[in-house]
Amino acid sequence: MNGFFGEQTPIRFEGPQTTNPLAFRYYDAEEIVLGKTMSEHLRFAVAYWHSFAWEGGDPFGGSTFERPWFGDTMAHAELKADVAFEMFALLGVPYFCFHDADVRPEGESYSQSVKRLNHMADIFEKKIQQTGVKLLWGTANLFSHARFMAGAATNPDPDVFAYAAATIKANMDVTHRLGGQNYVLWGGREGYETLLNTRMEREFDQLGRMLNLVVDYKYKIGFKGTILLEPKPQEPSKHQYDFDVATVFGFLKKYGLENEIKVNIEVGHAILAGHTFEHEVATATAHDIFGSIDMNRNDYQSGWDTDQFPNNVPEVALAYYHILRNGGFTTGGTNFDAKLRRQSIDPADLLHGHIGAMDTCARGLKAAAALIEEGSYDRFVDARYGDWEGEEAQAMLAGKRSLEQIAQRVEKHKINPQPRSGAQEYLENMINRFV
């Protein structure tokens, strides 16, 4: 115990009637929902960067948090790891996620940075053994350091591409060693600030090459996890190439990677791209590239990625509906890529943020499961497409009818389709019974 959370004991499930703010009201890890425990369904993870590395700054002011592990020595990094694992245990989350830059101070050279990362991985390995908390995914921070300001894989300087590749290798090694379930690539600088200085076709090919190198290396080291790309349309770059799920799917197809790489979808990124979160999840499941989610929420007035803890049950429920309909998570999970507001400076605020988020997801999951179990919603939507089961419809879909044959049939049978209601209000009311 390092005392950061004082005398706090593990957060327990007390049920919806409790007034204890440091208890779960809906998240009961062992409760069975659709044949699995809530913990197995939701696969919660804490994001190391927001809770332990971020200092509370904004564009108009610096750090507001006082944390005993802020500093650039390895001793600070070790204390940070102690507190992080203490919080994972207090919350009872099964997973965590990290970037290299969150867990170790930058070295003076590539070799020193990797040495420091490996040292922290030794510590994580022991803590994983002691606590049973596992790694959902690892990733490299290829966006904060000035060397990456014009991109990592998409940089005009091939030495930056090489440095980024070497950094990814080191992070994949560590993720593999720690039994990570996935490896994530988020390209905050893979895009441009101005098209005036950018050759887009070259940058696409560079990014395509980097992703192929990553996949080759995954097989080389025998990493069994999933490689995930995380779409985001902009911020920090003016335009990012992994704009949204549909754009990423097209990119993966172009570079022959649609069966190798899946997506990690974040709520706030979906909103920035002009979509709903469930739209992005449904697009990914439709293309069979759904992997994992970064769960948070944006302030819908602000227009940037505010990374707030989720508290919107209907939004979460619709996303889990699409995830459950697709068979649930395999290697993926629910990572809280969410940070405190900069005035929330107390240790307990970290607990409140995560407790509320876990309860919101539990309510959303249970609502989605109830909707599926009750069945009338799915029956309605399936019935809407029911005529496609007919013989002629199946033949058209399978490519067994030409345009002329279809035209002949329409003429011969005097086909004259009548409009049918889409019943949106009926469906909205039906969903509201569950959320």
Tell me which residues touch ligand XUL (CB under 6 A).
Answer: 99, 139, 184, 186, 230, 232, 266, 294, 305, 337
Active site residue 279: no
CB of 98 to ligand XUL, least distance (A): 9
User: How many other CB atoms are found less than 10 A from the CB of residue 78?
Assistant: 15
User: How many other CB atoms are found less than 10 A from the CB of residue 316?
Assistant: 28
Tokens 């900069």 correspond to: 342
Please choose, from the candidates 227, 199, 198, 224, the residue with its C-alpha nearest in 3D space to the C-alpha of residue 213: 227
Active site residue 294: no
Q: Report the C-alpha gap between 217 and 140 in whole angstroms.
A: 15
**In what helix (H) or strand (E) does residue 135 lie, and over which residues does it extend?**
strand 134-139
- Is the separation of the CB atoms in 254 and 208 below 8 Å? yes
When the beta carbons of 294 and 315 are compared against Co ion, the nearer one is 294
CB of 269 to ligand XUL, least distance (A): 6
Helix, coil or strand: residue 387: helix
When the beta carbons of 203 and 305 are compared against ligand XUL, the nearer one is 305
Please choose, from the candidates 147, 165, 258, 262, the residue with its C-alpha nearest in 3D space to the C-alpha of residue 210: 165
Instruction: Pick what 139 binds: ligand XUL, Co ion, none; C-beta below 5 to 8 Å, kind-dependent.
Output: ligand XUL
Nearest position to ligand XUL, beta carbon:
186
When the beta carbons of 244 and 266 are compared against Co ion, the nearer one is 266
CB of 95 to ligand XUL, least distance (A): 14
- Catalytic annotation, pick one of 28, 41, 50, 99: 99
When the beta carbons of 283 and 296 are compared against ligand XUL, the nearer one is 296
Residue type, 304: W
- Is the separation of the CB atoms in 181 and 175 below 8 Å? no
The verdict on 305 binding Co ion (CB under 5 A) reads no
Cβ neighbors of 208 (< 8 A, separation 6 or more) are 251, 254, 255, 257
**In what helix (H) or strand (E) does residue 239 lie, and over which residues does it extend?**
strand 239-240
Under rule CB under 5 A, which residues in 327-346 are in contact with Co ion?
A: 337
CB of 49 to ligand XUL, least distance (A): 6
When the beta carbons of 28 and 315 are compared against ligand XUL, the nearer one is 315
CB of 50 to ligand XUL, least distance (A): 8
Residue type, 53: A
User: How many other CB atoms are found less than 10 A from the CB of residue 91?
Assistant: 22
Per-residue contact string for residues 68-87; x = within reach of Co ion by CB under 5 A: --------------------
When the beta carbons of 280 and 294 are compared against Co ion, the nearer one is 294
User: How many other CB atoms are found less than 10 A from the CB of residue 372?
Assistant: 16
Instruction: Pick what 305 binds: Co ion, ligand XUL, none; C-beta below 5 to 8 Å, kind-dependent.
Output: ligand XUL
Instruction: Pick what 51 binds: ligand XUL, Co ion, none; C-beta below 5 to 8 Å, kind-dependent.
Output: none
The verdict on 294 binding Co ion (CB under 5 A) reads yes
- Catalytic annotation, pick one of 28, 50, 100, 102: 102
Tokens of 387: 């005529």
98 bridge partner residues: 138
CB of 164 to ligand XUL, least distance (A): 13
Tokens 């990592």 correspond to: 152
**In what helix (H) or strand (E) does residue 370 lie, and over which residues does it extend?**
helix 347-374
Instruction: Pick what 280 binds: Co ion, ligand XUL, none; C-beta below 5 to 8 Å, kind-dependent.
Output: none
Q: Report the C-alpha gap between 153 and 208 in whole angstroms.
A: 9
Per-residue contact string for residues 257-276; x = within reach of Co ion by CB under 5 A: ---------x----------
CB of 269 to Co ion, least distance (A): 7
When the beta carbons of 271 and 355 are compared against ligand XUL, the nearer one is 271
**Could you list the residues that contact Co ion (CB under 5 A)?**
266, 294, 337
Residues forming the active site: 99, 102
